[in-house]
């Protein structure tokens, strides 16, 4: 009988040890894999972030996309765990149109948009009837038109909002021909237009210095630029996932900030919005 009781005690101890091991699975060396959709993975940023994450047993797998729609579709369908390629305004418009339940969980960088040209050095050199290329996705199209308005080249309707289009240009003294097109095409058409408004990241990929090469660039102010702050996005069900939130924290470390500056030739910089700021701007963008 005594031997039987000893045997039961040993079984109980083993059971408790096993349960304890299960409770601390995240600390026992188990690796968590996170698939992140990106639009370009060149430069130092992602290797640095991957190395930092690996030290915490988080393996980042980057999935590259060539356009601005597929990364959100892939995330919504469960093919990705997270994506990192878009600003809040773009995500808000996507969610509004698609009905998909994707949310931002952390801010990353702000990349001012610029007007580039192979033919002129200053916007004052623009001539009547000149062609200007702009991105055609709703949020960046409106952003590009506001850039032109800020340079007094056009005037937009009072109700233009965050997602207006060229039909809401109410005054165009130079009769500029504004040509919306896929964002990736904007640098490629430079030989055929007087100027092209190019997203910061695409400009960098095309070999431009987003800090030095634009003949016109967005003025960076506080609240007005929040809709254009890039974000890490996940499905709503994962917004409190500790691993994903930890990646947000790692992204906002100083060495990642330096990598952003280096990768973009000081054309973009890290922005740390609070969760309250992030939620407010995102909700505004979905209206």
Percent of the chain predicted with pLDDT > 70: 89
- How high is the pLDDT of residue 66? 85
Q: Which domains does the chain show, CATH number per domain?
A: 23-112+224-285 (3.40.190.10), 114-219 (3.40.190.10)
**Residue 19: strand, helix, or coil:** helix
Summarize pLDDT for 74-122 with one digit per residue, the tens: 999 999 999 999 999 999 999 999 999 999 999 999 988 999 999 999 9
For residue 145, the SS3 value is helix
**Would you say residue 73 has pLDDT above 50?**
yes
- Sequence-separated contacts (24+) of 12-17 with Cβ below 8 Å: none
Residue 134 pLDDT greater than 50, yes or no: yes
Beta bridge partners of 103: 234
| CB contact at 8 A, 231 and 85 | no
Mean pLDDT, range 240-247, rounded to an integer: 98
In which band, very low, low, confident or very high, does the pLDDT at 229 lie, cut at 50, 70 and 90?
Answer: very high
Structure confidence at residue 205 as a pLDDT band (50, 70, 90) = confident
- Distance between CA 45 and CA 256 in Å, rounded? 6
pLDDT at 28: 47
pLDDT higher than threshold 70 for residue 261: yes
What is the pLDDT at residue 102? 98
pLDDT higher than 80, residue 242: yes
Q: What is the pLDDT of residues 11-22, one digit of tens each?
A: 443 333 344 333
Q: What is the pLDDT of residue 202?
A: 87
pLDDT at 24 over 70: no
Which parts of the chain are beta strand (E)? 32-38, 58-64, 82-87, 102-110, 114-116, 131-135, 155-156, 169-171, 177-181, 195-198, 216-217, 229-235, 269-270
Q: What is the pLDDT of residue 3?
A: 41
Q: What is the mean pLDDT of residues 31-44?
A: 90
Of 255 and 27, the structure prediction assigns the larger pLDDT to: 255
Cα 282–chain centre separation? 13
């Amino acid at each position: 009988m005594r031997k039987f009781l000893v045997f039961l005690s040993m079984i109980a101890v083993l059971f408790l040890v096993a349960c304890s091991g299960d409770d601390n699975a995240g600390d026992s060396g188990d690796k968590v894999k996170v698939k992140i959709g990106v639009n370009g993975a060149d430069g130092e940023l992602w290797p640095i972030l991957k190395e930092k994450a690996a030290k915490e047993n988080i393996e980042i797998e980057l999935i590259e996309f060539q356009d601005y729609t597929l990364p959100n579709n892939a995330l919504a369908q469960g093919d990705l765990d997270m994506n990192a390629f878009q600003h809040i305004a773009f995500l808000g418009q996507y969610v509004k149109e698609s009905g998909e339940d994707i949310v931002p969980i952390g801010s990353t960088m702000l990349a001012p948009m610029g007007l580039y040209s192979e033919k002129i050095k200053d916007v004052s050199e623009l001539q009547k009837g000149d062609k200007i290329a702009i991105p055609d996705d709703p949020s960046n199209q409106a952003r590009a038109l506001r850039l032109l308005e800020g340079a007094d080249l056009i005037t937009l309707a009072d109700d233009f909002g965050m997602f207006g289009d060229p039909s809401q240009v109410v005054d165009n003294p130079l009769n500029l021909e504004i040509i919306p097109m896929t964002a990736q095409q904007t640098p490629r058409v430079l030989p055929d237009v007087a100027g092209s408004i190019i997203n910061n990241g695409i400009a960098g990929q095309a070999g431009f210095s987003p800090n030095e090469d634009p003949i016109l660039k967005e003025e960076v102010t506080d609240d007005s630029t929040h809709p254009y702050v890039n974000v890490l996005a996940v499905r709503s069900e994962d917004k409190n996932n500790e691993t994903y939130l930890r990646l947000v924290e790692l992204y906002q470390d100083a060495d990642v900030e330096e990598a952003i500056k280096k990768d973009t030739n000081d054309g973009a910089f890290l922005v740390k919005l609070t969760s309250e700021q992030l939620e407010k701007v995102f909700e505004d963008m979905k209206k």
